């Protein structure tokens, strides 16, 4: 499972404050903490109106003072991408592209030019997805355009678009089924999603997020944007990788156990 650390996101109050103050040490500490707890890629979001292009480049520079850290640039602003991408030391990921004409036409040439990885979000141009059928229809159109445009299948991470289950009982099963269909239809492609969206507005969100992630991984999802500092979440990811055969001879599981990273504490529902 590819762990994309979600914590450096300017929609979070304390991150936004640190970004606006240019508090480089605070950002580096956040990045280092995520890497320490198992993040393999760091998602960077600098969504401050009127300042995103400048702030995203600043974030990239600060985080990469820690080394050649793989990054996921969380923006649909082409200017922000054009300024930040040349600063990346490793091939980055763009989060995300959709089939909305304006967004696709702005983001696709950048993906092509810089040969980045890309999250393809199954958000239709004119509606909100409800079932697996409309998610797959969007995925087929979006993936088809990316492949026809020369993007390698291994560089595409399809996100079936998670909506809160509190707004409709169909949202959870539809995403699970979409993951299965996408992986079956496009061998070599990747799948990902923002797991925590599923529990929005409900109590005990941590419990729902962790169980949903296990269910998604059982369908073959191989990347997720999560908080790597959530020890229980990371323990479950490690266990699922071992049980599903993704961790040959359980080497990563054993190492995590020896390092004390397999939390067995009860889940605090809050």
Tell me: pLDDT of 265 over 90.
no
Tell me: pLDDT of 226 over 60.
yes
Q: What is the domain count for the chain?
A: 1
Exposed / middle / buried, residue 55 (Cβ in 10 Å: 0-12, 13-18, 19+) = buried
Give the Cα separation of 21 and 121 in Å (integer).
Answer: 32
Tokens representing 180 are 């299965």
At 269 the pLDDT is: 47
Which has more confidence, 261 or 215?
Answer: 215
At 49 the pLDDT is: 85
Residue span of the structural domain in which 163 resides: 2-258
| Cross-strand pairs, 224 | 3
Q: Is 166 helix (H, G, I), strand (E, B) or coil?
A: helix
Name the percent of the chain lying above pLDDT 90: 90
In a domain, 265, yes or no: no
Among candidates 182, 118, 121, which has minimal Cα distance to 156?
Answer: 118
- Residue 190 main-chain phi, psi, to 5 deg: -110, 160
In a domain, 114, yes or no: yes
In a domain, 33, yes or no: yes
Range 80-107 average pLDDT: 96
In a domain, 263, yes or no: no
CA distance readout (Å), 146 to 64, 117, 119, 183:
29, 11, 11, 16
Q: Domain containing 189 — which CATH number?
A: 3.20.20.20
Give pTM, 2 decimals: 0.94
Range 11-31 average pLDDT: 97
The overall average pLDDT reported for the chain is 94
At 261 the pLDDT is: 87
pLDDT digits (tens, 9 = 90+) for 180-211: 999 999 999 999 999 999 999 999 999 999 99
Tell me: pLDDT of 151 over 50.
yes
């Amino acid at each position: 499972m590819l762990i994309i650390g979600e914590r450096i996101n300017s929609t979070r109050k304390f991150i936004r404050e640190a970004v606006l103050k240019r508090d480089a040490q605070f950002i580096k500490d956040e990045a280092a903490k995520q890497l320490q707890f198992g993040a393999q890629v760091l998602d960077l979001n600098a969504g401050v109106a009127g300042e995103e292009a400048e702030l995203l480049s600043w974030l990239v520079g600060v985080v990469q003072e820690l080394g050649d850290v793989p990054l996921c640039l969380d923006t649909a602003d082409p200017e922000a991408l054009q300024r930040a991408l040349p600063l990346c030391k490793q091939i980055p990921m763009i989060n995300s592209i959709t089939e909305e004409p304006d967004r696709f036409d702005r983001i696709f040439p950048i993906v092509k030019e810089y040969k980045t990885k890309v999250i393809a979000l199954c958000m239709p141009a004119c509606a909100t997805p409800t079932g697996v059928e409309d998610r797959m229809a969007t995925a087929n159109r979006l993936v088809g355009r990316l492949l026809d445009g020369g993007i390698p299948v291994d560089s595409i991470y399809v996100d079936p678009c998670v909506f809160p289950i509190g707004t409709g009982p169909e949202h959870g099963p539809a995403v699970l089924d979409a993951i299965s269909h996408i992986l079956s239809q496009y061998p070599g492609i990747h799948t990902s999603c923002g797991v925590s969206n599923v529990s929005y507005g409900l109590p005990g969100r941590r419990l729902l997020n962790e169980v949903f992630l296990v269910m998604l991984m059982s369908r073959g999802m191989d990347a997720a944007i999560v908080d790597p500092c959530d020890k229980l979440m990371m323990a479950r990811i490690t266990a699922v990788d071992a049980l599903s055969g993704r961790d040959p001879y359980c080497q990563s599981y054993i190492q995590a156990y020896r390092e004390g990273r397999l939390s067995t504490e009860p889940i605090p529902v809050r």
